[in-house]
Amino acid sequence: MTTVSRSLTYGKDFGLLYRLRLLLGGLIPHLILAGYSLLAVFPVVMILMNSFKTRKAIFGEPFAFPNPSNFDLIGYQTVLSRSNFTQNFVNSIVVTGVSLLFILLFGSMAAFALSEYNFRGNTLMALYLSIGIMIPIRLGTVSLLRLMVKLGLVNTLTGLILVYIAQGLPLTIFILSQFMRQVPKELKDAARIDGASEYRIYTMVLPLVRPALGAIGIFTMIPIWNDLWFPLVIAPSAKTATITLGVQQFLGQFVSDWNAVLSSLSLAMVPILILYVLFSQQMIRSITAGALK
Amino acid sequence: MSTTSKSRAFPTHIVVFLAPAVIVYTLFMIYPLIDSLRLSFFATGPDNKEYFVGLQNYVKLFTDSNYAPRFWGALKNNIVFFLVHMLVQNPIGLLLAALLASGGWGRKFYRTVLFMPTVLSFVIIGFIWNLILSPLWGVAESILKAVGLGALFRPWLGLESTALVTISLISVWQFVGIPMILFYAALIGIPEELIEAARVDGATGWQVFWRIKFPLILPTVGIVGILTFVGNFNAFDLIYTIKGALAGPNFSTDIMGTLFYRTFFGQQLQLGNPTMGATVAAMMFLIILSGVLIYMFLWQRRVQTVEM
């Protein structure tokens, strides 16, 4: 793109200097991008690579790839036998999955009401529901913990899920109501004439905003999966610890067992990395398409 | 907005649609926030009951020898933490976005790789860098030696003078993807004709960027700024993972989030104090709120007038 427009502007200037400039102009961005990419992946690769090596090789030749002479799975064995890894993993999936489901359900219902009906106090309600976009729920922790104690929800996954639903709703409602406003009015009115109930119309609109639901889903999921604060405060017990908290505690105990530390980091990273590789294009496209502006 | 319902009696279906979200949000977000603010005006008496004490908690936080040094220290560190993000993370994000937006081979690949650290948790990031920078493992040291800078190596995370900036840079490393992707989205949204017109008039790439593209993405600059501000003054996880709740060495990496956690839950010899914890949270609330208000009323209004 740039090269074409430049050669147009510079016209017939095909001198050596120009060609050199062109070459450098194309090369320097690549060098910067490649250099920074290396910085972004290098630490992650170091951990993954060394998690498969013997303790001696981890320290003796940290930059070497795993090979038959230094290969060792002792770290993974320690993690799987000494930690609640599976339990933590299941907890994280339950907490993230259920929260996400309710964020999308409740969020889309509220967004539908706000975008579809011109009732009294609509603007005020929209404003009220968007306070949480900027003010972090974490600041209410002292009272939130008391509330959880009162409701008997300390050390339960339900407690965590309720907090994450409340945390995820504001942005979801804000974005979804913008999308729902773009659904053609004729479509809904035609259904109304055919005698469809307002609930039926909601279920009609929902599939039409599916791309937005997907994007919001991914973006609400990541902070929930990665959160350390609320698992630490509300559900720190061994039975309810999420993977993020579980890994944090495991690493604290096994800090000097490098094989175990590297393996548990790798195990915690891999699911997210796989998901990221699968969905990264959609995720980035959804932002660049203005889905989250 | 379309109207179909007659607004005599409030229609049931609207209530049904709104109720679940409003109830969960009010009960688990708005109520705790307000109640926590209320608690900052109370203190626990010897009889374990809470009494209204007016602004005493705040006075204590600002002046008491047990609290004040920690509070002012955390506030100062938090400002440094924020400044490092504004001065390093966001310019790098802008640079990477500009390079990505200029098109060319491999951009999709770079985009994916550069955003990757952002999806990992603080716990993973914290430990990874702890290991990489550890003198015990010596990875960072070997790399510096390989380029002839071995003498520069220090246990950065362990030194009082460098720990805070090092942690800030780790956080920058993790989150550079967010400003990058937001700037990138804004840059590729600029109509091609505008840029072509400037090029035909003989503007260089540099001039096109600063005179045409940058003014057009000013709204995004504001969004990135306020997101950075809110995120930074609410940060906790990374420092807790690397340094623990005590935010050592000697509180040099203590920020508002870690101070809040320690004040609320206690640490070693000091018992936890919920109402003082609520007071720290209230200060964080005030700081974040003023940031948001400045953004909404000063920045957004100015950008709008510039656009007109």
| Band of residue A192 on the pLDDT scale cut at 50, 70, 90 | very high
Both tokens of B301, joined, read 């209004």
| Band of residue A8 on the pLDDT scale cut at 50, 70, 90 | very low
Do the domain assignments include residue A104?
yes
What pLDDT was estimated at residue A285?
78
Are residues A66 and A110 part of one domain? no
Report the half-sphere exposure of B219 (CA within 13 A, side-chain side).
12
The residues with which A71 forms a beta bridge, in sequence order, are: A53
Are residues A96 and A70 part of one domain? no
Interface test with B, best of A9, A143, A154, A179 (most B CBs within 10 A): A143
Tokens 């610890």: give the residue.
Answer: A241
What pLDDT was estimated at residue B306?
55
Across all residues in chain A, what is the average pLDDT?
88
Are residues A184 and A99 part of one domain? yes
pTM of the predicted protein model: 0.89
ipTM of the complex: 0.88
Check whether B57 has a pLDDT greater than 80.
yes
- Mean pLDDT over B182-207 rounds to 87
Helix axes A122-134, B12-25, angle to 10 degrees: 20
Please give the backbone phi and psi of residue B271, each rounded to the nearest 5 degrees, phi first.
-75, 155
Across all residues in chain B, what is the average pLDDT?
90
- Pick the residue from chain A with its C-alpha nearest to B141: A62
Are residues A54 and A95 part of one domain? no
Of B57 and B108, the one with more pLDDT:
B57
What pLDDT was estimated at residue A271?
85
For residue A163, give how far its alpha carbon lies from the nearest alpha carbon of chain B (Å).
6
Whichever domain contains A97, its CATH number is: 1.10.3720.10
Are residues A140 and A45 part of one domain? no
Both tokens of A159, joined, read 């407690």
Whether chain A has a CB inside 8 Å of the CB on B274: the answer is yes
Contacts of B228 (CB under 8 A, 6+ apart): B82, B85, B86, B89, B90, B179
Check whether A12 has a pLDDT greater than 60.
no
What pLDDT was estimated at residue B82?
98
Does A165 contact B28 at a Cβ distance shorter than 8 Å? yes
| Band of residue A287 on the pLDDT scale cut at 50, 70, 90 | confident
Residues 225-254 of A with CB under 8 A from B: 225-229, 244, 247-248, 251
Concatenating the DSSP letter of every residue in chain A gives -HHHHHHHHHTT---HHHHHHHHHHHHHHHHHHHHHHHHHHHHHHHHHHHTTB-HHHHHH-TTSPP-TTTB--HHHHHHHHHS-HHHHHHHHHHHHHHHHHHHHHHHHHHHHHHHH---TTHHHHHHHHHHHHHS-GGGGHHHHHHHHHHTT-TT-HHHHHHHHHHHHHHHHHHHHHHHHHTS-HHHHHHHHHTT--HHHHHHHHHHHTHHHHHHHHHHHHHHHHH--HHHHHH--STTT--HHHHHHHHHHHTTT-HHHHHHHHHHHHHHHHHHHHHHHHHHHHHHHTTTT-
Check whether A51 has a pLDDT greater than 80.
yes
Whether residue B278 contacts residue B40, with contact meaning beta carbons closer than 8 Å, is answered with: yes
Nearest to B36 among A39, A139, A247 (CB): A139
Whether chain A has a CB inside 8 Å of the CB on B296: the answer is no
Do the domain assignments include residue A117?
yes
Interface test with B, best of A131, A139, A242 (most B CBs within 10 A): A139
Of B3 and B43, the one with more pLDDT:
B43
Check whether B248 has a pLDDT greater than 60.
yes
What pLDDT was estimated at residue A268?
87
Share of chain B above pLDDT 70, in %: 95
Of B119 and B308, the one with more pLDDT:
B119
Whether chain A has a CB inside 8 Å of the CB on B209: the answer is no
CA distance B204 to A17: 16
What pLDDT was estimated at residue B2?
46
Does A144 contact B32 at a Cβ distance shorter than 8 Å? yes
Check whether B39 has a pLDDT greater than 70.
yes
Q: How many CB atoms lie within 10 A of CB B208?
A: 19
Domain total for chain A? 2
Of A273 and B169, the one with more pLDDT:
B169
Whether residue B260 contacts residue B280, with contact meaning beta carbons closer than 8 Å, is answered with: yes
Q: How many CB atoms lie within 10 A of CB B159?
A: 13
CA distance A138 to A153: 17
pLDDT tens digits, B100-135:
988 778 888 999 999 999 999 888 999 899 989 988
| Band of residue B51 on the pLDDT scale cut at 50, 70, 90 | very high
Q: Worst-scoring range by mean pLDDT, A7-11, A237-241, B96-100, B122-126? A: A7-11
Are residues A108 and A38 part of one domain? no
Could you tell me which of B175, B285, B308, B294 has the C-alpha nearest to residue B238?
A: B175
Are residues A94 and A47 part of one domain? no
Q: Which of A74, A106, A128 marks a domain boundary? A: A74
Q: What is the CA radius of gyration of chain B?
A: 24
Indicate the SS3 state at residue B11: coil
Q: Which of A253, A268, A287 marks a domain boundary? A: A253
Residues 4-33 of A with CB under 8 A from B: 5-6, 9, 25-26, 29-30, 32-33
The residues with which B266 forms a beta bridge, in sequence order, are: B271
Does A287 contact B181 at a Cβ distance shorter than 8 Å? yes
- The matching CATH number, chosen from 1.50.10.20, 1.10.3720.10, 1.10.20.10, 1.25.40.340, for B60-307 is 1.10.3720.10
What pLDDT was estimated at residue B97?
94
| Contacts with A251 from chain B: Cβ below 8 Å | 123, 127
- Mean pLDDT over A223-244 rounds to 93
pLDDT tens digits, B260-286:
999 999 877 678 899 999 999 999 999
Residues 51-90 of B with CB under 8 A from A: none
Q: How many CB atoms lie within 10 A of CB B302?
A: 12
Q: What is the DSSP letter of B115?
A: H
Q: Is residue A271 exposed (0-12), middle (13-18) or buried (19+ Cβ within 10 Å)?
A: middle
Q: What is the DSSP letter of B44?
A: E
- Pick the residue from chain A with its C-alpha nearest to B203: A9
For residue A158, give how far its alpha carbon lies from the nearest alpha carbon of chain B (Å).
12
| Contacts with B285 from chain A: Cβ below 8 Å | 135, 139
Both tokens of B125, joined, read 């990031």
Q: Worst-scoring range by mean pLDDT, A230-244, B56-70, B255-269? A: B255-269
Nearest to B285 among A25, A139, A165 (CB): A139
Task: List chain B domain ranges.
Answer: 12-56, 60-307
Does A140 contact B2 at a Cβ distance shorter than 8 Å? no
Share of chain A above pLDDT 90, in %: 58
Long-range residue pairs from A3-12, CB within 8 A, at least 24 positions apart, any chain: A5/B196, A5/B199, A6/B199, A9/B199, A9/B200, A9/B202
Tokens 């506030």: give the residue.
Answer: B75
- Mean pLDDT over A90-107 rounds to 96
CA distance B204 to B200: 10
**Residue count of chain A:** 293
Q: Worst-scoring range by mean pLDDT, A22-31, A104-113, B99-108? A: A22-31
| Band of residue A150 on the pLDDT scale cut at 50, 70, 90 | very high
Could you tell me which of B158, B171, B156, B174 has the C-alpha nearest to residue B257?
A: B171
- Mean pLDDT over B19-42 rounds to 97
Nearest to A44 among B34, B128, B181 (CB): B128
Are residues A87 and A69 part of one domain? no
Interface test with A, best of B5, B16, B23, B24 (most A CBs within 10 A): B24
Does B120 contact A131 at a Cβ distance shorter than 8 Å? no
Q: Worst-scoring range by mean pLDDT, A18-27, B179-188, B278-287? A: A18-27
What pLDDT was estimated at residue B10?
81
Please give the backbone phi and psi of residue A182, each rounded to the nearest 5 degrees, phi first.
-85, -10
Domain that holds residue A53: 2-74
Do the domain assignments include residue A36?
yes
Instruction: Look at the alpha carbons of A98, B19, A203, A181 in this order and tell me if their dihedral is positive or negative.
Output: negative
Are residues A187 and A46 part of one domain? no
- Pick the residue from chain A with its C-alpha nearest to B37: A140
Q: Is residue B44 exposed (0-12), middle (13-18) or buried (19+ Cβ within 10 Å)?
A: middle
What pLDDT was estimated at residue A13?
53
Are residues A159 and A198 part of one domain? yes
Do the domain assignments include residue A67?
yes
Are residues A239 and A102 part of one domain? yes
Q: How many CB atoms lie within 10 A of CB B232?
A: 25
Whether chain A has a CB inside 8 Å of the CB on B290: the answer is no
Are residues A227 and A90 part of one domain? yes
| Band of residue B5 on the pLDDT scale cut at 50, 70, 90 | very low
CA distance A96 to A164: 8
- Mean pLDDT over B174-185 rounds to 93
The enclosing H or E element of B105 equals none
- Mean pLDDT over B213-240 rounds to 93
